[in-house]
Amino acid sequence: MDIHKPKLWQGRRGLVLALVSLGILLNYADRQIIAVLKPMLQHDLGWTDGDYGRITSAFQFATAFSFLGTGWLVDRIGWRRANPLGVALWSLAAIGHAFARTVGQFTVARAALGVTEALNSPTAIKTAAALYPNDLRAMAYGIISAASTLGAVVTPLVIPLVALKIGWANAFLVTGGLGLLWVVAWQGSRAGQVVAAEADTPTPAFVETSRLTDVLTDRRTWAVAGARACSDSVWWLLLYWMPDLFNRVFHLGMSAFGLPLAVIYAASGVGALLAGFASTRLLSAGVSVNATRKWLMLTAALLVIPVWYAASAGNYWLATAILGLTLAAHQCFSVNIFALATDISPPGRVATVIAIQAFSGNISGMAMLSIAGWTLDHGYGYGPLLTWASVAYLLGVGWVQLLLPRIEGVAPGPEAAPAVA
């Protein structure tokens, strides 16, 4: 046994992982709050389903195109600076929602949140890649993904109570304010100083420009980007429309659909942790990266297939079980896509590759949210949307196999080696 090998929660690494996970939790609360409050906002402000679809699509559009710059920025300034910068900016954008009253104002607020949240994924994944060796990264990604789902669990349970007690505007102030407190905690704990500078040295701009060109012409980049586009179209559909599905199909009000949503996202978190655990065990047992990533992704894709039946289920608890299985499988798929991106990417371009695949996922999510609004406004229901969801992950696996018949990891550079315990 290698006593020098870092442990997941060992020393200062554990502090950074815990803070990053908490930041991700708050991030997902900021994202999901508008979905949870949709019935109240729709009643108070007179939104149509099309209005809601356009507002949420604005978030996706802004996030997607911001990813084209944030990956480069994170690779340039490093994870130590990017973490507090990102959380501070998106928390201020979240607070801005409290002052919106028209569809146009909410669209601007969501777009601002989208621009700033584009720092989220590249920063979190680059942080984990800098802190942990290859066989522990998937477990770290699983914990980060589980944190996002914990945010999605807490939000539908807590936010309706907060909104009914102090109003929806103050609910936005609460979630954004918690993010600003996180920044204070990061700075106060000096978390950004836990790894030696050589593990996080910004790279000169001219090297980054060349690297971006290399990334964009590398088929490995588009393998993970295409798979992410397939999976994220489903993730964003369910994240923003599941509260409406329970309200529209099963006639559950805001105070009633919180528990089913919490159960679904709890299952999602379990899926993320199991994915990280399974990946770590398989790689430690000598199974190749190629077999580990592809078999876990295929298993996840097969588990999603029953989602087509969710809106036709006889009762909402059966729908809850189906949707919980779907999002657990999504997290398994997602964890392995993140891990695959770091498997095949030199350390200096990890954030850039993550940003490009996140761009692809947000573009597909934006399209899906607009399609959902149009489909429901025209009376077609959730059937066509969930039918797509049932096959999207299989298409993602097929895309990866087409572009990467054999996955070969890159040799770690000096930036990949964690510097201190």
Query: What is the reported pLDDT for 328?
Result: 95
Mean pLDDT of 328-337: 93
Q: Chain-centre distance of CA 40, in angstroms?
A: 25
Name the amino acid, one letter, at 281: R
Task: Measure the CA–CA gap between 346 and 215, rounded to whole angstroms.
Answer: 10
Q: 10 Å Cβ neighbour count for 21?
A: 20
**Residues constituting the chain:** 421
| Cα 420 from Cα 217, distance rounded (Å) | 34
Place 205 in a pLDDT band, splitting at 50, 70 and 90.
very low
Q: CA 255, CA 164: separation in Å to the nearest integer?
A: 9
pLDDT reading at 21 higher than 60: yes
202 pLDDT exceeds 80? no
Is the pLDDT score of 113 beyond 70? yes
State residue 410's pLDDT score. Answer: 55
Checking if the pLDDT of 193 tops 90, the result is no
Q: What is the pLDDT of residue 232?
A: 94
pLDDT at 6: 62
With a cut of 80, say whether residue 333 has pLDDT above it: yes
Which pLDDT score, from 0 to 100, does residue 415 have?
38
Q: Tell me, what amino acid is at 241?
A: W
- Please tell me the least confidently modeled range out of 73-77, 86-90, 316-320, 350-354: 350-354
Give CA 241 to chain center in angstroms. 16
Contact 394, 301 (CB under 8 A): yes
Rg (CA), the chain: 20
pLDDT for residue 291 = 93
Please report the pLDDT score of residue 35 as a whole number: 86
Confidence tier at 419 by pLDDT (50, 70, 90)? very low
CA-CA distance, 349 to 268, in Å (whole number)? 29
Statement: residue 194 has pLDDT above 60? no
Residue 80 has pLDDT above 80, yes or no: yes
- Give the CA dihedral 124, 126, 132, 133, nearest 10 degrees: 140
Report the pLDDT averaged over residues 99-115. Answer: 94
At 122-134, the pLDDT tens digits run: 899 889 888 888 7
| CA–CA separation, 208 and 221 (whole Å) | 16
Where helices occur in 79-119 by DSSP H, the ranges are 79-96, 103-117
User: Mean pLDDT over residues 289-298, rounded?
Assistant: 94
Q: With a cut of 50, say whether residue 326 has pLDDT above it.
A: yes
- CA–chain centroid gap for 84, Å, is 18
Task: Write the pLDDT tens digit of every residue in 156-179.
Answer: 889 989 999 999 999 999 999 999
Copy the structure tokens of residue 202.
């910004």
Task: Read off the tokens for 165.
Answer: 């007690």
Which structure tokens are listed for 335? Answer: 């964890």
Q: Rounded to an integer, what distance in angstroms lies between the CA atom of residue 368 and that of residue 375? A: 10
**Using CA atoms, how far apart are residues 216 and 356, in angstroms rounded to an integer?**
9
Instruction: Assess contact for 61 and 269: CB atoms under 8 A.
Output: no
The torsion defined by the Cα of 401, 403, 407 and 412, in degrees rounded to 10, comes to -150
pLDDT digits (tens, 9 = 90+) for 36-63: 898 899 889 988 888 888 898 888 889 8
On the question of pLDDT at 374 being above 70, the answer is yes
What pLDDT is stored for residue 114 in this prediction? Answer: 92
